[in-house]
Structure 1
Amino acid sequence: MRFYELLNFQHTMAWLFPSLIFMVVFGVGLAFAHLHGKDSEARKKTITGRYADGIEERDAPYPLFMMLVIAGTFIWGFFYIVMHGVLGVKI
């Protein structure tokens, strides 16, 4: 049990708001940032498949934000393992 009940609320807010902000930024990043090539605009408009209820498939470019998230995950994982080895901490 904590001495101060307000500390529980502060910790909850400290975890909740950064998570919500990340989700909004992640969604905006996925919606608006793409790796642009010479045929990116044509690929966004060309319909490659149609499904029930009016769902259409396109071969759109891969989102730049998603590439950065994947690259950051691999870089963080690599340095996490290296630094645990250098500092002598057992995983």
Structure 2
Amino acid sequence: MRFFQLLSFQHTMAWLFPTLIFMVIFGVALAFAHLHGRDSEASKKRITGRYADGIEERNAPYPLVMILIIAGTFIWGFFYIVMHGVLGVKI
């Protein structure tokens, strides 16, 4: 039990607001940033499949943000393993 209950509230706000801000920035980045190619504008408009209830499939370019997040995850994982090996920390 904590002596000050406000500290628990402050910790909750310290992880809640950065998470919400990240979600908004991530959503905006997914919506507007993608790799542009020769036919990226045409492929965003061309419909490749139609499903029930008006759902349409398009062959849109892959979002740049997802590429950066996936690459960052692999780089972080690699250096995490290397640094634990170098520093001799038991995992």
* TM-score of the two chains, using structure 2 as the length reference: 0.97
Q: Which residue of 2 aligns with 1:32?
A: 32
Q: Which residue of 2 aligns with 1:3?
A: 3
Letter paired with 2:45: K
3-state secondary structure, aligned to 1:48: strand
Question: CA–CA distance in 1 between the matches of 2:34 and 2:25?
Answer: 15
* TM-score of the two chains, using structure 1 as the length reference: 0.97
RMSD of Structure 2 on Structure 1 (CA):
0.6
Q: Which residue of 2 aligns with 1:17?
A: 17
Number of residue pairs the alignment of both structures matches: 91
Alignment of 1:48-67 (within 5 A): 48-67=48-67
State the Cα deviation string for residues 8-49 of structure 1 (Å, max 9, x = none).
000000010011111111111111001100110010010000
3-state secondary structure, aligned to 2:36: coil
Question: CA–CA distance in 2 between the matches of 1:80 and 1:25?
Answer: 26
User: How many Å apart are 1:3 and its aligned residue?
Assistant: 1.4
State the Cα deviation string for residues 45-82 of structure 1 (Å, max 9, x = none).
10000000111000000000010010000001011111
What stretches of structure 2 of length at least 5 have no aligned partner?
none
